[in-house]
Structure 1
Amino acid sequence: MEGYASIIYDEGNKKEALDIWIKMANTGDAGSIIFLAGQYLHSLPQITYPEKDEVLGAAYSKIYLDSMGTDKKHDLYDIYKEQYLETMSHLSDAQKKQVNDFAKKFLSKHTVRVLR
Structure 2
Amino acid sequence: MYKISEFAGITGLSKETLRYYAEVKLLEPAYVDPKNHYRYYDDGSYFLAIMLVKLREFGLTIQEMQKVMKDESFFNLEGLLLEKRKNLEDQVITLQKKMTEIDDFIESGRETSE
TM-score past 0.5 threshold: no
Compare the two structures and name the one with the higher strand fraction. Answer: 2
TM-score (norm 1): 0.29
TM-score (norm 2): 0.30
Greater C-alpha radius of gyration: 2
